[in-house]
Structure 1
Amino acid sequence: MTLLRSDAALRRDQILDAADAVFSERGITAPLDLVVTRAGVGRATLYRNFPDRAALVEALFERAIGVLESAAPAHDLFGLVEQVGLALVASPALADYWRALEPGHPAATGARERLAKLFRAPLAASQAREECRADLRPADLVLVAGMLGAALRGATPAKRRNLVRRALELLQDGLGPPRRGR
C-alpha cells in the first residue's frame, strides 16, 4: 500500500469521519453529498478516495476492525466480545450494511474471517483457563457478534450500550463452561 501524503491522508480521514457521522444519523443510504458537505471537501475528492459507496463503507469497516485489532485484549475473551458489541453500537449503519450483504459476498466473507481471527487468541486463552466452553469456535463468536446487533434497537447510544451489556450478561452463561449438575 502506498503511503498517502499527509494532506491526502487528512482529507481521507475527514471523509471517513463525516461518513461515519452521516451514516449513523441518516442510515447507510444517506446521500453522499451530505458526506461531502460534512467533510468540507469536494465531490471529486470523495470519489478520488472512494469510487463508490461500497468502497467508502468497506474503508469504514477496515478502520473499525483496525481499532479493535489494536485494542483487543489478548487474553480476555469476554472483554473482546463486549468491545465488538460496543463497536456495533457506535456504528449502527455500518452494522446494518454488513448484515444486508449476501453471505457469500467477498466483503462479508472477509469481515467474518477478520473477526474470527481476532477471536482466536483470546478464545484459546479462555479455553485453556476453562473459562468458556471447550467446543466454542471463533466462528461461534462471530455469530455472537451478529446477535449483539440486536442492541441496535435502543433509542439512544446509551440505551444501545446498555442492551449490549445486558445481552452479554445473558450470553455469558451460554458461552461459559458447563456447570456441574446441569
Structure 2
Amino acid sequence: MTSAAPAPLRRRADAAQNRAALLRAAEEVFTELGVQAPLDAVSKRAGLGRATLFRNFPDRQTLVMALLESAIEQITSESQRLLGTPDELIQLLHFILDRMVFRAPLVEYWQTSGRLQPEMQAAIASVMAIFEPVIQRAVAAGRCRADLVSRDVLPLLAMFSGSLCGCPLEQRDALAARTWVFAMDIVKPAPAQPPIKG
C-alpha cells in the first residue's frame, strides 16, 4: 500500500494545477470577451477564488505575459513533434497561424505592449531560436527560399497578426487563408525559370 504524498508536495501540486487552470480560463475569457474582460470572470471560469488568482498573477499584465510564455512553450512542443517531417517549417508556421485565428485579441495586446519590454524581447528571441534549426533544415532540403533566415519569421508573424487583429471571429478564417497564400509566396522557393531562348 502506497502512502500519501507529503503535505508540501501536495501543496505544490495543487498550486501548479491552480495556475494551469487559471491560464486556461484566462485564454478562454480573453479570447471570447477581449483582454480587458473583468479578472473576476477568469477566476470564476477556473472555479477558483480571487485570492488564488491574484496570488498567482498580481495584475492583468502579469497574467497576459504568462499566456505569452505558455504560447511559446506550445510552439516549442509542436516544433519538437514535427522534427524530421518533410514540411516541418510550413507546418509550424501553419500551427501558429491557426492559433492566431482564435487568439487574435491576445495577439493584438501582445503587439501593443511594445517590443522593448523584457517579456516581449524574450518571446522574440525564443521564437527565433525555435525557427533557426527548422529553417536551416528547410533551406538544406530546398523546401524554402535559399536566403530565408530566422529573423524573417518576425515579419511573417506580423503579417499573420496584422490581418486578423480587430476582425470579428467569423471573418478570420477567410483572412487567414488569404494571408497564408501570400506567406507561402514569400517562403517557398521560386519556381525554376525556363531558359531564355536566343
The answer, yes or no, to whether TM exceeds 0.5 is yes
1:107 to 116, 119, 123: 119
Cα deviation per residue 1:124-160 (whole Å; 9 max; x = unaligned)? 1110011211221111112201211113455336x52
SS of corresponding position for 2:142: coil
Indicate yes or no: 2:99 matched with 1:92: no
Distance 1:59 1:164 in 2: 25
Matching of residues 52-71 of structure 1 within 5 Å: 52-71=59-78
2:27 is aligned, of 10, 14, 20, to 20
* Secondary structure, aligned partner of 2:190: coil
Percent identity reads: 35
Aligned-residue offset at 1:29: 1.2
1:5 is paired with a residue of what secondary structure? helix
DSSP 3-state at the match of 1:55: helix
2:167 and 2:114 mapped to 1: Cα distance?
25
Deviation at 1:97, TM superposition (A): 1.4
Which is further off, 115-124 or 160-169? 160-169
Residue aligned with 1:51, SS: coil
C-alpha deviation, 1:9, in angstroms: 1.5
Partner of 2:50: 43
| Aligned: 1:74 with 2:71 | no
Matched, 1:137 2:146: no
TM-score under structure 2 normalisation? 0.82
Cα distance in 2, alignment partners of residues 97 and 47 from structure 1: 20
Higher Cα Rg, which structure: 2
Distance 1:156 1:93 in 2: 10
RMSD: 2.0
Query: 1:113-124, aligned counterparts within 5 Å?
Result: 113-124=125-136
Q: Between Structure 1 and Structure 2, how many residues are aligned?
A: 179
Separation (CA, whole Å) in 2 of partners of 1:96 and 1:37: 24
* Matching of residue 156 in structure 1 with residue 174 in structure 2: no
* Structure 1 Cα separation of the partners of residues 131 and 176 of structure 2: 18
Instruction: State the distance in 2 between where 1:121 and 1:163 align.
Output: 29
Structure 1 stretches of 4+ with a deviation exceeding 2 A read 151-157, 159-166, 178-182
1:82-112 alpha-carbon deviations (Å, 9 max, x no partner): 0111121232222011110222111111111
Question: In structure 1, how many angstroms separate the alpha carbons of the residues matched to 2:99 and 2:181?
Answer: 17
Q: Could you tell me how far 1:22 is from its partner in structure 2? A: 1.0
Q: Which residue of 2 aligns with 1:6?
A: 13
* Higher alpha-carbon deviation: 161-170 or 103-112: 161-170
Matched letter for residue 25 of structure 1? E
1:41-61 alpha-carbon deviations (Å, 9 max, x no partner): 111111111111111111111
TM (normalized to structure 1)?
A: 0.88
Q: Say whether 1:170 aligns with 2:186.
A: no
Unaligned segments of structure 2, at least 5 residues: 1-8
